[in-house]
Amino acid sequence: MADPTYAIGTWSLDDLFPSSDGPEVKAALADLEAAAAAFEICREKLNPSVDDETFGGILEQVERIRTSTALLDGYASLWLAEKTTDQEALAFRGRIDRLLADVRNRTLFFELWWKELDADPAARLLEASGGLRYYLESLRRMAPYARSEAEERIINIKDVHGVQALTAIYDMIANDLTFDVTIDGERKTLTAPELGVYVRDPSSENRAAAYRALHETFGEQGNVLGQIYTHVVGDWHDENVDLRGMAEAISPRNLRNDLPDGVVDALLNACRKNAAVFHRYFRLKAGWLGLDRLRRYDVYAPIQAERREVAFVDAVDWTLESMRGFAPEMAEMAERVLASDHLHAKLQRGKDSGAFCYGVVPDRVPWVLVNYAGRMDDASTLAHELGHAVHSMLASDHSVLTFHAPLPLAETASNFAELLLLKRMLGEETDPGVRRSLLAEYVDNCYASILRQAYFVLFEREAHALISGDGATVDRLCERYMENLREQFADSVELAEEFRWEWVGIPHIYQVPFYCYAYAFGLLLVLGLYRQYEAEGEAFVPRYLRVLSHGGSMAPLAILDEAGIDIRTEAFWQGGFDVIAGMIDELEAT
């Protein structure tokens, strides 16, 4: 049973720093300066014959610098996520960005030397690098695209006042928007998370009003936000394709994820081919709602008229129970997030409108942000983000350089936690109507995490090509986005014109281009993993926990190969869609 004192509240950042101007931050800044200065002396030690012990000492200094920068960066990021328009938080974020760019430039020589080192001495040092081997391998993976030290310094400096400033301005505009909407006859002014409650409202009028308010308001800022996007894309293309010589715009993300382009293509192709699975579901759902065809407003409509309210303490309790039933240590780790006061669940203006988990350094309990509004979907989001926290803690015995899971596997624990929660609820629920509602909501979320995210990436590919080619107006990008939606839904969903602005409200395409396929990757992978769990039972648990415990210390393909999972073909991804199709079969039979 969850501690009944757990309530919707804000987090404490004291486990990082009590304040931005206290002695602890000053000491951290001094330690970082001392570490950077000491590291600069290492330049003269770097040569092909450097001995293993000396090289090990240099790596220890790399870890020290990364720990210091992670603590400062984590504090700045979390403070700003809580208060995205706070002037002091913004100023501190800017100060830390400038500092980190300076430290990166001063220490950049090590990465460049390592990337350029000949194969034989590199192989010798890799053998002696222990748990940091994959970190070093990852640096060398980017070697063909590294530029000179002077050029890399210019890029780092340029980014602080260039693309990083643009995305900061985007965040300020997007997160400070409020939305005027009429709900149940009452005029309200809501934040984005508050408005988001109504896209799953039982009332079709409320759903439509919420979506119109969302996209029309973003549309009012659309020319500015769209222009920011064109510059973000231009910067991405100029650096990665033109300057570094990568094959295409998505290649930098695939290289950082250590995934061959072909694996990502197989994933996206499978998603495109299986859009009809969700078309079938949307037609089924239209019948439940008494409609000839779903409107885009109705995609997440609940199929039960009554909105189910979920108290925060119940959401916590269900999540912990579902984890405990699978592996007790997972529940213990998730509960540490709440016990450490590292969860921000309260709705408030200016707060980041999404949800995330931030594992700052291995020896600190991760911080989790959600916007809890009492919906069943919020309970699933809580389970999702606490799953991320468990993943981080299971990998906490690795270095600060390798404990973060690689992006392709970053959604594994989170999606698995959501599925555990669903199975726990289905196992206890006897009302056929409630069971159907739970299963339908899960398929809704499968659409949101798989098909919708894959089509964001397909849109990004085309948008990057348009912008980096002959240029593209914001209107042309809107037109292309509507074409993307028409392919995504075919004739199963009716689209309203205001959805042309939906893309400008998707922060990931600004902040981390091509990130979104990780969501599809993660959920389809988890559906396959859960099918193995159902077949193997308890024998599966340690194998699954081992996948998570690797963190980022091995390549994604190596971690999955060790677990007996081959993701290289469309056939693997098809298996996940087959699970979803089976859920739709069950829904059709109810």
pLDDT digits (tens, 9 = 90+) for 450-503: 999 999 999 999 999 999 988 899 999 999 999 999 999 999 999 999 999 999
Q: Is residue 194 predicted with pLDDT exceeding 70?
A: yes
Angle formed by the axes of helices 261-273 and 275-288, nearest 10°: 30
The CATH number of the structural domain formed by 23-161 is 1.20.140.70
Exposed/middle/buried for 267, CB within 10 Å: 0-12, 13-18, 19+?
buried
pLDDT for the residue 143: 82
Helix (H, G, I), strand (E, B) or coil at 403: coil
Residues in the chain, how many? 590
User: In the structure, what pLDDT confidence band is assigned to residue 7 with cuts at 50, 70 and 90?
Assistant: confident
Q: What are phi and psi of 84, to 5 degrees?
A: -70, -15
Calculate mean pLDDT across residues 320-346. 96
Hey, where are the domains in the chain?
23-161
Calculate mean pLDDT across residues 300-327. 90
Lowest mean pLDDT among 58-72, 209-223, 339-353: 339-353
Exposed/middle/buried for 61, CB within 10 Å: 0-12, 13-18, 19+?
middle
Nearest to 202 by CA among 279, 290, 311: 290
Nearest to 230 by CA among 66, 549, 466: 466
The owner of tokens 């998707």 is 506
CB atoms within 10 A of CB 47: 10
pLDDT digits (tens, 9 = 90+) for 349-394: 888 888 999 999 999 999 999 999 988 889 999 999 999 999 999 9
Q: Is residue 4 predicted with pLDDT exceeding 60?
A: no
Q: Would the pTM count as exceeding 0.85?
A: no
Positions of E strands within 315-447: 343-344, 356-358, 367-369
pLDDT for the residue 185: 95
Q: Is residue 70 predicted with pLDDT exceeding 70?
A: yes
Q: Is residue 2 predicted with pLDDT exceeding 80?
A: no
